[in-house]
Amino acid sequence: MPTITTQQITALAPDTASIKAARALIKPNKWPILGNNDQGMWGECQGSGTKAYQVLVDRQTLTTKCSCPSRKFPCKHALALLLMVSEQTANFSVEPPSWFQEWYAKRIQKSTHPASKATSNHSTEKSKGVTESTTKSAKTSKTNKTIKTRLTQMRSGAQELDLWMRDLIREGIADLPSRAATLWRDIAARMVDAKAPGLARRIEDLATVLYAVPEWPQHILAGFGRIKLLIEALNQYEHLSESLQADVRVALGWALNKEAALAGEQIEDNWLVLGIVFEENGPLVERRVWLYGLNSHRTALIQEFAHGGRNFATNYLLGNCLQGTASFFPSATPQRIIFSDITYVGSDSSLLDNSLLDSSLLDNSLSDSSSDNKFPINITYTQQLEQISKAMAINPFIWRMPIGISNLRLAHNETTWNFVDTQNLLIRYQLSERHIWHILAITGGIIPYMFGEWKTGIWYPISVKSSTNEWLDLTI
């Protein structure tokens, strides 16, 4: 069974208050029933009412369920159960009650249902013949009409954005930091209205650059250039290859169908969770989970959205390995995936140690390497930027890229902390000083591996791996 650390449970919590409330529930007298086995965890927690809350956790997906009325996911009762299992603060039964067995059986049936449905649909297609073909043709016609309407809306918004950028450049950008934030918010809101939320996100990201780095003018102009390129691609959408059309749609914030991924490239592997990022935009929560295939040496991204909180079907733990099949969405540089048949196989230390690290695994082009379960080391910032350059030459619409750098050290000058790689190159980054001190605490300033996201020319670290295989989440 995979181990779950306190830090990983804290990362699953919807907020700090939930962890604090969960801690208050770690009392044996509040839990008349407690259990834990290979399938999951369960317990009954006595609340303020007469009937105890039934708490359930699926071990493979870390999905939680509780009979309490809380709108938070996971709730404080589920977090308390996870903490008790992690910290071994109670005695657990291994024989599940009937209510857990029923819930778990339904989850297993639900996970296998799509396959049986696909088989049934296949038989139906054979029997329907011409009728099915006619229905498919009508559906295709409707889809094409929807695409045409959406393109018209986005092109209208993109034309307005193009004019907005031209006006700013003509007037000069020197005073941008002193101008009202509504300058950026208003045009971003207009892009959302034009069904192009991806353009809105790029504008919002550029607005944050104004205060992130002193060299903001070059970042702003480079960002404008990339947005202009995307606008031109939108105008020439019908003339692009299918893979680039998919990349343009993603860049514009136009969701792709899961069927497109299931029909594309699939890789079964042991996947290491490199980093997890949550971003909230009003009631909408985006989760990005970065993975590394230990045999395929592919980097993959799970990007999901939830409304009204972090209510995702599957929970992922930083530094843990899981076995499953990744289906890649179409792209000139495939990266985003959907997962199927997920099974946790433990922490990375159960599959990896420093003696297995391989300095040759630098990019996805080496996916035919014969060395298994190896993790890249001796990767400098320059090497990673070269990989980004190669990827952007193929797909210029990439806005966010994964960067993992090994053998970093922390150096302090008179005013700031700096990350320095083995080539003594200072790396431009965005990270709070609080996290800097956390990194120092677990690494002593010598960092075996740090992972993050690169966008608008800046590195945003999100996780650190120490020499003792301890992972630090830099997003909490």
pLDDT tens figures, 166-177: 999 999 999 999
pLDDT attached to residue 365: 35
pLDDT attached to residue 73: 86
What H or E segment, with its residue span, contains residue 128? helix 98-128
In this predicted structure, the answer to whether residue 410 has a pLDDT above a threshold of 80 is yes
- Alpha-carbon distances, residue 408 vs 295, 298, 426, 444 (angstroms): 25, 22, 10, 11
Higher pLDDT, 54 or 126: 54
Task: Note whether 449 and 377 are within 8 A (CB).
Answer: yes
Q: Which two tokens stand for residue 393?
A: 């030459």
Higher pLDDT, 88 or 104: 104
pLDDT tens figures, 214-231: 889 999 999 999 999 999
* Rounded Cα–Cα distance for residues 407 and 467 (Å): 10
344 pLDDT band, cuts 50/70/90, is: low
What mean pLDDT comes out for the span 221-250?
A: 94
In this predicted structure, the answer to whether residue 274 has a pLDDT above a threshold of 90 is yes
What mean pLDDT comes out for the span 446-475?
A: 91
Q: Which two tokens stand for residue 402?
A: 């994964």
Q: Which two tokens stand for residue 322?
A: 């899981």
pLDDT attached to residue 390: 92
What mean pLDDT comes out for the span 30-38?
A: 92
What mean pLDDT comes out for the span 332-341?
A: 89
In this predicted structure, the answer to whether residue 17 has a pLDDT above a threshold of 80 is yes
pLDDT attached to residue 428: 85
Higher pLDDT, 116 or 85: 85
pLDDT attached to residue 35: 93
Q: Which two tokens stand for residue 399?
A: 């806005």
In this predicted structure, the answer to whether residue 7 has a pLDDT above a threshold of 90 is no
Across the chain, mean pLDDT equals 84
Among 2-6, 125-129, 255-259, 465-469, the range scoring the smallest mean pLDDT is: 125-129
pLDDT attached to residue 355: 32
pLDDT attached to residue 314: 82
In this predicted structure, the answer to whether residue 367 has a pLDDT above a threshold of 60 is no
What H or E segment, with its residue span, contains residue 465? strand 458-465
Q: What are the backbone dihedrals phi and psi of residue 430, each rounded to the nearest 5 degrees, phi first?
A: -130, 110
Distance from the Cα of residue 472 to its chain's centroid = 16
399 pLDDT band, cuts 50/70/90, is: confident
pLDDT attached to residue 359: 36
pLDDT attached to residue 12: 86
Name the nearest CA neighbour of 402 among 385, 417, 419, 427. 385
What mean pLDDT comes out for the span 40-59?
A: 91
What mean pLDDT comes out for the span 401-421?
A: 91
Work out the percent of the chain whose per-residue pLDDT is above 70: 85
pLDDT attached to residue 370: 39
356 pLDDT band, cuts 50/70/90, is: very low
* Single-letter amino acid code for the residue at 184: W
In this predicted structure, the answer to whether residue 59 has a pLDDT above a threshold of 80 is yes
Place of tokens 């009325």: 69
In this predicted structure, the answer to whether residue 456 has a pLDDT above a threshold of 80 is no
Helices (H) and strands (E) in the chain, counts: 12, 15
Name the nearest CA neighbour of 422 among 409, 436, 410. 409
pLDDT attached to residue 283: 83
The vertex-246 CA angle with 240 and 247, nearest 5°, equals: 90
The vertex-451 CA angle with 449 and 453, nearest 5°, equals: 160
What mean pLDDT comes out for the span 240-261?
A: 90
In this predicted structure, the answer to whether residue 351 has a pLDDT above a threshold of 70 is no
In this predicted structure, the answer to whether residue 385 has a pLDDT above a threshold of 80 is yes
pLDDT attached to residue 374: 53
Q: Pick the most confident of 69-73, 345-349, 417-421.
A: 417-421
139 pLDDT band, cuts 50/70/90, is: low
What mean pLDDT comes out for the span 59-88?
A: 90
In this predicted structure, the answer to whether residue 8 has a pLDDT above a threshold of 90 is no
Work out the percent of the chain whose per-residue pLDDT is above 90: 55
Q: Pick the most confident of 259-263, 378-382, 443-447.
A: 443-447
* Rounded Cα–Cα distance for residues 350 and 214 (Å): 43
What mean pLDDT comes out for the span 85-98?
A: 88
257 pLDDT band, cuts 50/70/90, is: confident
pLDDT attached to residue 88: 82
115 pLDDT band, cuts 50/70/90, is: very low
